Amino acid sequence: MKTTIFISRLIPRAGIEILENAGFVVEINQKDRVLTKEELLAGCQGKDGLLCLLTDTIDREFIDQMGQLKGIATMAVGYNNIDLAAAEEKGIPVSNTPGVLTDATADLVWALLMATARRLPEAERYLRAGEFKSWGPMLFLGGDLRGRTLGIIGAGRIGTAVGLRSRGFGMNIIYTDPEKNRVLEEGLGGRRVELNTLLREADYITVHVPLTEETRRLIGRPEFKLMKETAYLINTSRGPVVDEDALVEALQSGIIAGAGLDVFEKEPHIHPALLSLPNAVLLPHIGSATIETRTRMAMMAAENLVAMMRGEVPENLVSQKK
């Protein structure tokens, strides 16, 4: 019997070829949308392996019904959508794709930060609407970068890469993280501080923490009240890290100057008020969306799955097979 794999949504061809070249039979969801739980269960029925995405809910109910799986490979860094405890109980290893999307996401952080600070989407809409009649000294004034303070919440791979990109702007770096970050400290003179200190001092705050019970709504009403009125918040990590009701209030009342978001608390649902706020720049979760990065992610997920199907330990194991 040949090994059979289900892929929950179309991925770059290079990843599919790795699975096919390994001799596996590959079945792919042909619908250009997230499958319902029932559809995902049906697709995985009788399959040996699953290559899924962060938009798929792999909970205990799913795993209990799909106990025959020999491995689950998610094409993402985060894996909070997968019940690891349930997978371990069933002896199903789980892998992710860390590291590969660091640069693409860090680049997007800066694109989002600059677009937010310089009000680029707002200015473009103004121009396209035919409202631009002449240059004016008060037209779309935004925030400077040089000499300002960048606060990094979570100084892991992506947070560090974002910090290193600040060098050209001559920014001051502060960060909060459980561990000391020598790259930021020795290379950029960065300071490790407590979260409340970072919120008070930073002009730009960028979030790079995983979603856990400790980080859920890490940034809420008390935290916004600590920020400068001229501060900008950038979130490309996980939507639920930020309390969106509190964010809306902060943006509407001028508690902070603006926010740039690539992720949302109840994604893909967007808080209705955010959609109408001119000082919020919103993107549809495209942090890793470059051709090269998504291709590498697909290949890494496929390689992880090949290893698991062969009874080997994948390079990016996040749960132990028991």
Catalytic residues: 238, 267, 285
Q: Report the alpha-carbon distance of residue 279 to residue 224 in Å, rounded.
A: 15
* Residue 145, token pair as written in the block: 């970068």
